[in-house]
């Protein structure tokens, strides 16, 4: 280890920064975050530093550096980007026994500034010892993406209760178990989600009662896993998946997504396929309640977004009625994710000013649909679960006035490596399903934007077609471009 990692308190302490340009400004931002009393030595200043001087936020000595300028400083920074001046600053600081950092000059530096992940009071420093600063920065960016923005608030929240916990739980081992349960539990999640008032109330109740018994009932997170590509999982979804004791999942959840679940979590498959229900919805609800009442952290993992044709609302109602705490984690719904992965804009100034999601399953929902209201040349329709009824969907739309040649696209296994995008026209929807043997999870996109699924000539005719006031002619031109 070439450098000893250490965190210094600079609050109120004098720090000398030599240099007034952009290089110095970058260091100044960090020093101000640490509440240091900064004195800038430079004959001229960049606008950012000049503004801070005008606001009396920092001190400024408007001349060239002199050796005595470092006297009384806790730390010194040389940030002129002029080698001879930076070397002189380093020599002056060392002569007085003061640690110095010359920016981007490790050979002149007593200490190195790491790449910093700031979630104060949680701070992470990453250093390559000056050998590969870009690599250190890349690592910082990866870690930044892994950590919740509110992590610092969670640390401060926990600190505010340390005294109360210590006064209530005398055993050090029991306190450790308490905090382990807290940081992995629903109260911590409430803080991370911005619900700090309710989190504080629940924390007080947890401390004042028997905390082991308080954890008797578990917690359920209804998590949207997105349309299939694991890269589209949200950070919050992955956090719950890593904490889960039990995951209850359906057939839309790929093995690649399940790989992100904690390895020792129990997995319960409750998948449904058309005409093949391994579990009824009531049975799934019972499983969620049963597992939560064991005191476990349960994740109900759903494809897409749990509140868009996912029955997440029904499951939430049942769990809340049973007195079980529930969190809902949004996911990228299939229509949005699959359309984007297929290059199909659901809305477009030249083609569609609205988008409607419709269930394509037979039953009361489909029968009750306002089919005449769905017919609109400036609207995109996305049918979920519509493969089996593709013919019925096209017949009803055409019957209510939709042009039979309206472009459509069937997206199978959207966002996944085996994605297929099949362009066509509305009148041939059922025949397309049969001809291409579409069997995987699919969406049917209806509207002029669906022509973007095969847009080799679309761009050339779009502007000319838009000048035509005749809607049918416009749609026909778009459809021809899609063929």
Using the Cα atoms of residue 209, residue 213, residue 215 and residue 216 in order, give the sign of their dihedral. Answer: negative
Q: Is residue 306 annotated as involved in ligand binding?
A: no
**CB-CB contact of 363 with 472 (8 Å):** no
Out of 1.10.10.10, 3.40.1010.10, 3.40.220.10, 1.10.1740.10, which CATH number does the structure's domain 216-332 have? 3.40.1010.10
Say whether 106 counts as a known binding-site residue. no
What's the average model confidence in pLDDT over 469-481? 47
Query: Does the pLDDT at position 480 exceed 70?
Result: no
**In terms of DSSP H, where are the helices of 132-185?**
133-146, 151-160, 162-168, 172-183
Question: What's the whole-number mean pLDDT along residues 462-467?
Answer: 42
**Contact between 324 and 217 (Cβ < 8 Å):** yes
pLDDT of residue 471: 46
pLDDT of residue 307: 95
Provide the phi-psi class of 381: left if phi over 0, else alpha when psi is between -120 and 50, else beta: beta
Is 333 marked within a binding site? yes
43 annotated as a binding-site residue = yes
> What does the pLDDT read at residue 217?
65
Q: What is the C-alpha separation between 184 and 173, in angstroms, rounded? A: 17
Mean per-residue pLDDT, 451-470: 50
Determine the pLDDT at residue 363.
58
- The answer to whether residue 68 scores a pLDDT higher than 90 is yes
Task: Say what the pLDDT of residue 406 is.
Answer: 94
pLDDT tens by residue, 325-367: 899 999 999 999 999 999 999 999 889 999 999 988 765 556 6
Interatomic CA distance for residues 445 and 398, integer angstroms = 15
pLDDT of residue 235: 87
Per the annotation, does 44 bind a ligand?
yes
What average pLDDT does this structure show over 203-208? 84
pLDDT surpassing 60 at residue 458:
no
Q: Report the Cα–Cα distance between both ends of the chain, in Å, rounded.
A: 64
Q: What is the pLDDT of residues 260-295, one digit of tens each?
A: 998 889 999 998 665 555 688 999 999 999 999 988
Reported as a single tens digit per residue, the pLDDT across 152-165 is: 999 999 999 999 98
Catalytic residue among 250, 327, 403, 454: 250
Q: 219 pLDDT exceeds 70?
A: yes
* pLDDT value of residue 463: 42
Q: Is the pTM of this model over 0.75?
A: no
The residue ranking higher by pLDDT, 324 or 186, is: 324
CB 387 within 8 A of CB 433: yes
Question: Are residues 358 and 369 in contact, defined by beta-carbon separation less than 8 angstroms?
Answer: yes
pLDDT tens string 21-48: 999 999 999 999 999 999 999 999 999 9
Return the residue matching tokens 């973007």: 452
Which helix (H) or strand (E) segment holds residue 338: the answer is helix 334-341
Position 461 pLDDT exceeds 80: no
Q: Which long-range contacts (CB under 8 A, 24 or more apart) does 198-205 make?
A: 199/157, 200/157, 203/157, 203/161, 204/164
Contact criterion met (CB below 8 Å) for 229 and 336: no
Residue 303 among known ligand-binding residues: yes
Q: CB of 202 within 8 A of CB of 219? A: no
- pLDDT-based confidence at 405, cuts 50/70/90? very high
pLDDT-above-70 percentage for the chain = 89
334 is in an annotated binding site: yes
Check if 250 is active-site.
yes
370 annotated as belonging to a binding site for a ligand: no
Give residue-wise pLDDT tens across range 362-402.
655 566 678 888 998 789 999 999 999 999 999 999 999 99
Is the pLDDT reported for residue 456 higher than 90? no
Asked if residue 342 belongs to a known ligand binding site, the reply is: no
Judge whether 305 is annotated as a binding position: yes
pLDDT tens digits for 87-116? 999 999 999 999 999 998 888 999 988 888
- Please give the pLDDT value at position 273: 61
Which of the four pLDDT bands, split at 50, 70 and 90, describes residue 213? low
Q: Do 329 and 299 meet the contact criterion of CB atoms below 8 Å apart? A: no
> In which order are the strands placed within the sheet that holds 59-61?
59-61, 37-41, 14-18, 75-78, 99-102
- Spans of all domains in the chain: 14-113, 148-211, 216-332, 338-482
Task: Check the annotation: does 414 bind a ligand.
Answer: yes
Q: Which of 14, 177, 272, 388 is catalytic?
A: 272
Average model confidence (pLDDT) for the chain? 87
Euclidean distance between CA atoms 183 and 189, whole angstroms: 8
Pick the CATH number of 14-113 from 3.10.20.30, 3.30.1360.200, 3.40.50.720, 1.20.120.1200: 3.40.50.720
The Cα–Cα gap between 287 and 291 comes to 6
- Is 272 noted as a catalytic residue in this protein? yes
Instruction: Write down the CATH number for the domain with range 338-482.
Output: 3.30.950.10
Per-residue tokens: 440: 């995987």
Q: What is the reported pLDDT for 365?
A: 57
The reported pLDDT for the residue numbered 41 is: 97
373 annotated among ligand-binding-site residues: no
Task: Compute the average pLDDT of residues 200-229.
Answer: 80
């Amino acid at each position: 280890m070439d450098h000893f990692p250490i965190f210094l308190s600079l609050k109120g302490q004098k720090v000398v920064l030599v240099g007034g340009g952009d290089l110095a400004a970058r260091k100044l931002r960090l020093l101000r975050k640490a509440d240091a009393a900064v004195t800038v030595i430079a004959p001229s200043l960049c606008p950012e530093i000049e503004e801070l001087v005008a606001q009396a936020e920092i001190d400024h000595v408007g001349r060239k550096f002199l050796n005595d300028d470092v006297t009384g400083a806790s730390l010194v920074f040389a940030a002129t980007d002029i080698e001879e001046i930076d070397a002189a600053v380093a020599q002056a600081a060392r002569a007085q026994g003061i640690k110095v950092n010359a920016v981007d000059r490790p050979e002149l530096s007593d200490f190195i500034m790491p790449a910093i992940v700031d979630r104060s009071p949680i701070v992470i420093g990453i250093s390559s010892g000056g050998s590969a600063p870009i690599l250190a920065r890349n690592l910082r960016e990866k870690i930044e993406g892994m950590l919740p923005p509110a992590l610092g608030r969670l640390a401060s929240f926990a600190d505010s209760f340390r005294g109360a916990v210590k006064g209530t739980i005398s055993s050090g081992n029991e306190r450790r178990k308490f905090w382990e349960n807290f940081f992995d539990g629903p109260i911590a999640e409430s803080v991370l989600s911005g619900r700090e008032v309710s989190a504080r109330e629940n924390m007080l109740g947890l401390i004042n009662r028997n905390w082991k018994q308080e954890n008797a009932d578990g917690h359920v997170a209804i998590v949207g896993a997105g349309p299939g590509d694991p890269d589209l999982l949200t950070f919050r979804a992955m956090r719950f998946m890593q904490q889960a004791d039990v995951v209850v999942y359906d057939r839309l959840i790929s093995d690649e997504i399940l790989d992100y679940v904690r390895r020792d979590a129990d997995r319960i498959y409750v998948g449904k396929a058309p005409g093949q229900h391994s579990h009824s919805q009531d049975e799934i609800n019972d499983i969620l309640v049963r597992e939560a009442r064991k005191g476990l952290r349960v994740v109900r993992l759903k494809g897409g977004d749990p509140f868009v044709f996912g029955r997440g609302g029904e499951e939430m109602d049942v769990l809340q009625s049973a007195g079980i705490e529930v969190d809902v984690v949004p996911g990228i719904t299939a229509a949005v994710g699959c359309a984007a992965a297929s290059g199909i804009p659901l809305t477009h100034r030249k083609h569609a000013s609205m988008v409607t999601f419709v269930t394509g399953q037979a039953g009361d929902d489909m029968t009750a649909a306002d089919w005449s209201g769905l017919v609109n040349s400036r609207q995109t329709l996305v049918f979920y679960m519509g493969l089996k009824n593709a013919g019925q969907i096209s017949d009803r739309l055409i019957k209510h006035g939709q042009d039979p040649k309206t472009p459509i696209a069937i997206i199978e296994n959207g966002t996944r490596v085996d994605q297929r995008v099949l362009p066509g026209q509305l009148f041939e929807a059922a025949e397309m399903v049969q001809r291409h043997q579409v069997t995987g999870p699919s969406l049917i996109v209806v509207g002029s934007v669906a022509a973007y699924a095969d847009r080799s000539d679309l761009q050339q005719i779009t502007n000319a077609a838009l000048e035509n006031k005749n809607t049918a002619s416009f749609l026909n031109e778009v459809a021809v471009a899609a063929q």
